[in-house]
């Protein structure tokens, strides 16, 4: 076979068929590895050699349409270990199943490049629309706005400032309720375990807490604001270091932990130092996942962000966007509220 000359248009499936001496249907069967078709190994080899010589790249849109019978949604999330993301995923899955859609899940591992890859796959039509929990914040806004302008259906979850459809929890309400609750219990020495993947992006929750603390007339002690990574190991080590580094009479009487996942590791760290929750240190946190009520002891005082409902609302927005691509941008905000359990108690002198 002669290599395709430079300067001609991109090869098509029919070019591959002509060069290999078979029908374009046979080429499609070979490229898509369709089961049940009696195509000889010699024919398959001839087709694949033509693909190589012509430098042919099949359309991802055509391939995906051949491989599925229902509309497919993409769902990109940073990780699966966090129960908050699991509950969002469960809400999305329940909604798309009710509406006979398929779901293609992608892990981004908090990496900007992986999020951009999800956008590439959307443009290639590997899925028809995308629900994204962003992990790289403002860096994505330009690309998200570009996708919106081109008519690609995208919904984001969480705090974002792009033009695409968005679902998020009510800002600052949960943070105010946590600080007010601790204040009413007599806590004046409040520390923070703030474990997130990127502190340039996810500090809005911490900032809201600090504003609420100052509005209550409480002094913020910056030595007690402990930033760390997002894993339980990070939470454990950071909590332990905080309390090992200060005398008992000058340690926080309450901790605000960034989420239920890390709150469990904070309790374990305190226990290793002989400190009890809530008798010695109260712990309040965010997300109100199943961990808060059923897994961690004592059960956690936690802000409920309606994660399951957030997932369902996001899926509903995406389906609506697929049906009406030029409608105005929609922003939904779900109410946050504090669930008080046994991890918080009054200050004991």
pLDDT, residue 239, reads 97
For the entire predicted model, the pTM comes to 0.75
Domains 68-170+307-333 and 173-306 share a fold: yes
User: Distance between CA atoms of 170 and 337, rounded to whole angstroms?
Assistant: 9
Cβ(174)–Cβ(182) below 8 Å: no
pLDDT, residue 251, reads 93
User: Distance between CA atoms of 44 and 42, rounded to whole angstroms?
Assistant: 5
Class of domain 13-58: mainly alpha
User: Distance between CA atoms of 72 and 92, rounded to whole angstroms?
Assistant: 12
Class of domain 173-306: alpha beta
User: Distance between CA atoms of 243 and 247, rounded to whole angstroms?
Assistant: 8
Cβ(194)–Cβ(188) below 8 Å: no
Q: Which helix (H) or strand (E) holds 27?
A: helix 24-31
User: Distance between CA atoms of 300 and 273, rounded to whole angstroms?
Assistant: 20
Q: Which of 154, 157, 89, 132 is nearest to 308 (CA)?
A: 89
**Is domain 68-170+307-333 annotated with CATH 3.40.50.2300?**
yes
Helices (H) and strands (E) in the chain, counts: 13, 12
User: Distance between CA atoms of 79 and 267, rounded to whole angstroms?
Assistant: 23
Q: Which of 78, 73, 89 is nearest to 125 (CA)?
A: 73
Q: What is the mean pLDDT of each run of 10 residues along the chain (349 residues)?
A: 50 88 80 63 90 77 49 91 92 92 92 93 91 85 89 88 88 93 97 83 83 94 93 96 90 96 96 96 96 94 96 93 85 94 92
Using the structure block, give the residue that is written with the tokens 């709150």: 263
pLDDT, residue 56, reads 84
Residues composing the chain: 349
User: Distance between CA atoms of 329 and 116, rounded to whole angstroms?
Assistant: 21
Domain-wise residue ranges, the chain: 13-58, 68-170+307-333, 173-306
User: Distance between CA atoms of 122 and 104, rounded to whole angstroms?
Assistant: 11
């Amino acid at each position: 076979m002669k290599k395709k000359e430079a300067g001609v248009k991109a090869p098509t499936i029919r070019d591959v068929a002509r060069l290999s001496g078979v029908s374009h249907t046979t080429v499609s069967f070979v490229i898509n590895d369709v089961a049940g078709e009696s195509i000889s190994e010699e024919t398959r080899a001839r087709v694949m050699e033509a693909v190589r010589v012509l430098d042919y790249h099949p359309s991802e849109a055509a391939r995906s349409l051949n491989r599925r019978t229902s509309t497919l949604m993409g769902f990109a999330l940073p990780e699966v270990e966090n129960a908050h993301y699991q509950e969002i995923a469960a809400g999305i899955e329940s909604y798309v199943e009710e509406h006979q859609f398929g779901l293609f899940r992608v892990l981004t591992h908090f990496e900007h490049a992986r999020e951009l890859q999800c956008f590439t796959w959307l443009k290639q039509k590997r899925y028809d629309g995308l629900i994204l929990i962003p992990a790289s914040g403002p860096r994505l806004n330009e690309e998200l706005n570009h996708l919106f302008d081109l008519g690609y259906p995208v919904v984001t979850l969480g705090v974002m400032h792009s033009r695409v459809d968005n679902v998020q929890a009510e800002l600052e309400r949960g943070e105010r309720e946590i600080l007010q609750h601790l204040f009413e219990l007599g806590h004046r020495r409040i520390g923070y375990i703030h474990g997130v993947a990127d502190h340039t992006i996810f500090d809005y929750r911490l900032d809201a807490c600090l504003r609420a603390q100052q509005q209550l007339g409480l002094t913020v002690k910056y030595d007690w604001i402990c930033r760390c990574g997002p894993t339980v190991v990070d939470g454990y080590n950071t909590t332990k270091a905080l309390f090992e580094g200060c005398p008992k009479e000058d340690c926080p009487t309450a901790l605000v932990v960034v989420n239920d996942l890390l709150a469990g590791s904070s309790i374990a760290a305190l226990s290793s130092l002989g400190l009890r929750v809530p008798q010695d240190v109260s712990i309040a946190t965010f997300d109100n996942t199943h961990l808060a009520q059923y897994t961690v002891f004592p059960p956690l005082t936690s802000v409920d962000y309606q994660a399951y409902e957030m997932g369902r609302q996001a899926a509903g927005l995406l389906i609506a966007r697929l049906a009406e691509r030029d409608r105005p941008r929609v922003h939904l905000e779900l109410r946050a509220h504090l669930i008080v359990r046994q991890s918080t108690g009054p200050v004991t002198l």
